[in-house]
Structure 1
Amino acid sequence: MTSVVTAAAGVSVTVRGDAVEETESILDRLASDGVPAALAARSPQLWGPDAVAEAGRRLGWLDLPETSRALVEPLTRLAEEYRAEGLDRFVLAGMGGSSLAAEVITRTAGVELTVLDGTDPLQVARVIADRPERTVVVVASKSGGTLETDGHRRVFEAAFAEAGITCDALRRRFLVITDPGSPLEHSARRAGYHVVLSDPDVGGRFSALSAFGLVPAALAGADIGALLDEAAALAPTLRQPYDNPALALGAALGVAAAAGRDKLLIADNGSGLTGFGAWAEQLLAESTGKDGKGVLPVLVEGVGAPGFAPSPDVRGLVLGDFESAALTVKGPLGAQFLLWEYATAIAGRVLGINPFDQPNVQESKDNTAALLDAFATEGEAALDDGAPYLVDGAVEVHTGGTLGGHSLEGGLTEALDALLESVPARGYLAVMAYLDRTGDDAEAAGLRALLTLRAERLGLAPAPVTFGWGPRFLHSTGQYHKGGPQNGVFLQITGAAPLDVPVPGLPYTFGTLQFAQAIGDLRALRSRGRPVVRLHLRDRAEGLAQLLDALKN
């Protein structure tokens, strides 16, 4: 048998080649263990006794196709009210699960939503300066204590005040999404902001069909009722042991990772779901990357992109049609959100991990907080990463002693080659860019393909290369980097900014916060003995051009 298609409610999951036998074997075991019925009944025992407490309060996403319908009419009405007042630009300030789904929904629907999920001062300055007279800010944080989001709220409050928007007009400019009883709920109600409470039994990365995904999307003009209809059509199939595409996808992902194919190459080939891979990346990496296990999503630019090729530790998945892929997934967006959430929970069961916690995300947050506390008393010395190993033009190379045995006399190019050569068998290289992802630095995303091609020219064994924008990836693949298999090699990129933006009411700027996040994560990776090189662009435009050229030559 060369392929098996499992389809329902407009969704299809196709498994091909050598993936068929192993997937069918695990599907039979999941069915005989009664897993679909147990998950539909929200049983927290499915992931072992240590996960019961967390899982017991994290399964509300199963009910969202129905429970979220109460949001549709009020949000439609609220969007109309805003537009009648001349407010038609919506900014979403949120991180990870609080922003990625809304970004996918609005990009797929072709409606405008500005997503501010970073701390780069160039990005922050550009977003706050754009059409303040027409702007509403959606502040989204499940915990209510997200450091980045708090900074975004503060800077917008100051910007509105500077523009003469105060009192009732200012209160009208903020809508807050958070869990009941969070610090953000209390402060937002004191300020008189509009508050929408989300279901506390839904974890952040499983919240696509909750208020976190739907509120910003509805305000921007997306049809959230249709999304819920698509998900509701799939929901009845989730309790079935057979003809259950979400079960098939979860089984295929989990059994492949358990057998050592723990890198999942994801390419889009005409799915029509713009940016969906970034949402799936966070869901999978943060949910499964722990206990030395996990599924590492590797987003590639398309089915013909560098690196989209099979290897012993890699499984390829295509969103859309592609007959050469081991896995293909098709279906409407609302149904796909539910499909992938369910599949991730199943993959966690197969791998024997708790898919609902994220212990190492908190580690990075704690590192950042400690560095900011030290900065308040010690100043810049608290963030010192030492002298660069070498300076090549506009680029400083900081190795932290992790590239022993290389003289690096060839400068930047040799440092990059040495890093590629240090990737172990069955390992991966992660690029982490603390730059302006939506501005002039956006071309840094091309580093993934260029590094892949460079490794090929050096004759190195194929190894997946991932790319993430900092600090965005800290709420996504950052969990896998520290909690998953310890075979990663890391390239961190920071850059001097020509301007900075103070965080009102706090003793640091966004530039300082961004650098503290970078250095905090750098130290976490080095403490694990992983090879890490930091490239600091002394001049962003010149340094980035130099870096790209070094890989092209």
Structure 2
Amino acid sequence: MTEVISAEIVRTPNQEQLDTVVAELLQESVPSRLAAQDPTLWGPAAESEAAIRLSWTTLHESSRPLVEEIAALRAELLAEGVDRVVLAGMGGSSLAPEVITATAGVPLVVLDTTDPGQVAEALAGDLARTVLVVSSKSGGTVETDSHRRIFEKAFADAGVDAASRIVVVTDPGSPLEAAAKEAGYRKVFLADPHVGGRYSALTAFGLVPSGLAGADVAKLLDEAAQAAPLLAADSVDNPAVLLAANLVVAHAHGAEKVVLADTGSGIKGLGDWAEQLIAESTGKDGTGLLPVVVEGPGAAGFVDAGSDATTVAIGPATGSSSIAVEGSLGAQFLLWETATALAGRGLGINPFDQPDVEAAKKAARSLLDAPAAEPVEPAFTDGTIEVHVGGDWLPGGVRTAAEALQALFAAAPEHGYVSVQAYLDRLDDASFALLRAEVARRAHRQTTFGWGPRFLHSTGQYHKGGHQNGVFLQITGASPTRLEVPGRPYDLATLQLAQALGDGQVLAERGRPVLRLHLTDRVAGLAQLVEAIQEDGS
């Protein structure tokens, strides 16, 4: 492909409206005004926030000095025999680096979890060869702070100078910057504070861990720079305009979901990154676009998306696609960011705030501050599965996990969705992700899958702020590993459960059906859970 970035409308029943929306965007010079960082594009209510959130449009230029800094630090570390990079970060601080390094084929250990088993596995690596990148915009992210504390102690216990092995990426003036300087950490990279977390792929948050791991971050910036003029153009050939207009028009006709499938892009995991960008940017004020990342072009939800979803191919177009986007990774980052900002204007929302993200965090903190004297009792137990119910939606007489699942799926309204949320080990329990397609087939609803708590920094905003037609399946599991958080009155397993309970509580308070299945044995529980999902309730 000769073009650095492109978008192709494969099919649309609303071509006339699509043409109208495109024409309006171009007549008002919206793409070029966005590239020029015009904060008035989303109306007076969003102007103050937009004024401090638009520096992402020029990161392909402003992030250039980072390349040399990262390369110098990598060379120093390699000279000391340090070649294993562990990233502690959530949301925008981890999703982009994971895509960048996976696509580049370089190793990066990503900690975006509170599962004690997954964190323990990262600790079991060779600490003598390890550098920890602590990445947090606010500096107060509880998961990342926990990882920092745990690794700092582990370094010390292993006889490794912890301060020399911790690199920080944060915003200027954050509590983490002050703590890092006081502790004498190896290096502090300060990111552009005028870029929101989900738009930060080409800031220090995306580039530092990726570059230290060995990815060519200069090439990434080159790719974005090549795409920038086209994405800023007030032209019908602007792929961001085509993508945004398609999503806005489809949403106006009831397609409030965006089904994403990689069709051979060569990029690994872009859908997971785009998921946060779209959901957190648009899911508010009772509206928005819910991303549904599927396993491929033949997956449940992509080939039969129906009238409530737009199907987007990341890569070559397929017969099932509504639209296809192709291009290099750096160009894709800038394309999706631009299209999402433009779509926010079309939806009439502020694409740069996240008003509902904090609710689940507050609920989890309250559970940690005032833990229950007794364990939460299940409504009933079925084999290895303890069944917990949030809200009063479950019919009387339900006594098996299969019956509870069938009731949950039945509670999803027409054109609603099912959210599967697994508070488990994303590596050792990776096969749980296969439940997404199985639930979609059984529930006959668009189905998302998220690893907890990382989805709380992603689709969690949409669940509370977007269209209120979701039902929620939480999966938690007993862990044999206990991992204390130094300086905190809880261990990781307690934090992980508090995050699940806190989010479930917030959703139930908003009238959404929540079913939590706690597996007393993760291996046996998965087998039983699959059988329960597949059980015919007719």
Question: Fold conserved (TM > 0.5)?
Answer: yes
**Residue 389 of structure 1: aligned partner:** 379
Distance verdict in 2 for CA 1:416–1:404, change over 3 Å? closer
**Residue 179 of structure 1: aligned partner:** 171
Alpha-carbon offset, residue 405 of structure 1: 2.8
Q: Which runs of 5+ in 2 are unaligned?
A: none
Measure, in 2, the Cα distance between the counterparts of 1:117 and 1:353. 28
**Residue 312 of structure 2: aligned partner:** 317
Distance verdict in 2 for CA 1:476–1:40, change over 3 Å? same
Give the secondary structure class of the aligned counterpart of 2:297: coil
Measure, in 2, the Cα distance between the counterparts of 1:298 and 1:219. 31
Q: Tell me if structure 2 keeps the 8 A contact 1:179–1:198.
A: yes
**Residue 508 of structure 1: aligned partner:** 490
Measure, in 2, the Cα distance between the counterparts of 1:371 and 1:470. 17
> Is 1:22 equivalent to 2:14 in the alignment?
no
| Deviation larger for 240-249 or 529-538 | 240-249
**Residue 292 of structure 1: aligned partner:** 286
Measure, in 1, the Cα distance between the counterparts of 2:326 and 2:137. 30
RMSD: 1.4
Amino acid at match of 1:126: E
How does 1:485-496 map onto structure 2 within 5 Å? 485-496=467-478
> Is 1:302 equivalent to 2:296 in the alignment?
yes
Amino acid at match of 1:207: S
Alpha-carbon offset, residue 34 of structure 1: 2.2
Measure, in 2, the Cα distance between the counterparts of 1:404 and 1:273. 42
Distance verdict in 2 for CA 1:404–1:310, change over 3 Å? closer
Measure, in 2, the Cα distance between the counterparts of 1:402 and 1:392. 20
**Residue 449 of structure 1: aligned partner:** 437
| Deviation larger for 308-317 or 182-191 | 308-317
Give the secondary structure class of the aligned counterpart of 2:48: helix
Q: Tell me if structure 1 keeps the 8 A contact 2:391–2:509.
A: no
**Residue 452 of structure 2: aligned partner:** 470
Give the secondary structure class of the aligned counterpart of 2:295: coil
**Residue 223 of structure 1: aligned partner:** 216
| Deviation larger for 251-260 or 321-330 | 251-260
**Residue 142 of structure 2: aligned partner:** 147
How does 1:83-232 map onto structure 2 within 5 Å? 83-166=78-161, 170-193=162-185, 194-232=187-225
Measure, in 2, the Cα distance between the counterparts of 1:389 and 1:323. 45
Q: Tell me if structure 2 keeps the 8 A contact 1:250–1:346.
A: yes
> Is 1:255 equivalent to 2:243 in the alignment?
no
TM score, norm. by length of structure 1: 0.94
Q: Tell me if structure 2 keeps the 8 A contact 1:291–1:483.
A: yes
Amino acid at match of 2:334: L
> Is 1:369 equivalent to 2:358 in the alignment?
no
Distance verdict in 2 for CA 1:494–1:380, change over 3 Å? farther
Measure, in 1, the Cα distance between the counterparts of 2:37 and 2:395. 53
| Alignment equivalent of 2:355, drawn from 352, 359, 363 | 359
**Residue 419 of structure 1: aligned partner:** 408
Measure, in 2, the Cα distance between the counterparts of 1:436 and 1:131. 20
Amino acid at match of 2:218: G
Measure, in 2, the Cα distance between the counterparts of 1:551 and 1:130. 36
Amino acid at match of 1:248: L
| Alignment equivalent of 1:438, drawn from 406, 427, 433 | 427
| Deviation larger for 505-514 or 321-330 | 321-330
Q: Tell me if structure 2 keeps the 8 A contact 1:90–1:138.
A: yes
Alpha-carbon offset, residue 388 of structure 1: 1.6
| Alignment equivalent of 1:399, drawn from 386, 389, 403 | 389
Alpha-carbon offset, residue 429 of structure 1: 0.4
Q: Kindly provide the CA deviation profile for residues 507-541 of structure 1, in whole angstroms up to 9, marking residues without a partner as x.
A: 00001111111111000000011111110111122
**Residue 239 of structure 2: aligned partner:** 245
Measure, in 2, the Cα distance between the counterparts of 1:372 and 1:471. 15
Q: Kindly provide the CA deviation profile for residues 278-303 of structure 1, in whole angstroms up to 9, marking residues without a partner as x.
A: 00000000110000011000011011
**Residue 48 of structure 2: aligned partner:** 53
> Is 1:529 equivalent to 2:523 in the alignment?
no
Q: Tell me if structure 2 keeps the 8 A contact 1:267–1:302.
A: yes
Measure, in 2, the Cα distance between the counterparts of 1:213 and 1:231. 13
Measure, in 2, the Cα distance between the counterparts of 1:305 and 1:448. 10
Measure, in 2, the Cα distance between the counterparts of 1:192 and 1:388. 47
Measure, in 2, the Cα distance between the counterparts of 1:206 and 1:380. 42
Alpha-carbon offset, residue 244 of structure 1: 1.1
TM score, norm. by length of structure 2: 0.96
Measure, in 2, the Cα distance between the counterparts of 1:402 and 1:31. 49
Measure, in 2, the Cα distance between the counterparts of 1:400 and 1:191. 43
Give the secondary structure class of the aligned counterpart of 1:312: helix
Aligned residues: 530
> Is 1:550 equivalent to 2:517 in the alignment?
no
